[in-house]
Amino acid sequence: MGDCLFCKILSGDIPTELEYESENIVAFRDINPQAPTHILIIPREHIATLNDVRKKHRSVLGEMQLAASKLAEKEKINIGGYRTVFNCNEDAGQSVFHIHLHLLGGRGFRWPPG
C-alpha cells in the first residue's frame, strides 16, 4: 500500500532479514528493540489498525499469535516468559499503520504497562 513502511519490507524495497515467513505472514526484528528479543509479526495483507480487522482476518490473526509462540520457543524466552502486544492508534503509541504483533522477551516487564 502506497507509502506503508511494512509493505515496503514485504515487497523487498526495504531489505530486511526475515525470522519467519509463510504465505500469510512474515516476522522480522524491530529496528529499535525494547528488549533482548523484539520481533514484529505482520500480515502480508495491508491492514492499517486493529480497528480494520474483520471476520475474514480471524485465521491470519491466529497465525500471527501462533508464530509468536513458536518464535518465543526458538528465542528460548518461552519458559522465562514474554509479552505480545498490538498497539492501536495514538493513545497506544502506534507509529506504523500496518498491524504488527510485537514479541518482546529476555527481560522482566512491568504491569500495568506505561
Annotated catalytic residues are 100
User: Count residues contacting ligand DGP (CB under 6 A)?
Assistant: 14
Q: Is 84 in the site for ligand DGP (CB under 6 A)?
A: no
Instruction: State how far Cα 7 lies from the chain centre.
Output: 13
Cell numbers describing residue 55: 471476520
Q: How far is the CB of 19 from ligand DGP (least distance, A)?
A: 10
Nearest partner of 40 among 53, 25, 29, 24, judged by Cα: 29
Site residues for ligand DGP, window 23-62 (CB under 6 A)?
A: 28-32, 40
Applying CB under 6 A, among 95, 108, 110, 111 the residue interacting with ligand DGP is: 95
Nearest partner of 32 among 104, 92, 112, judged by Cα: 104
- Residues near ligand DGP, by CB under 6 A: 5, 14, 16, 28-32, 40, 87, 93-96
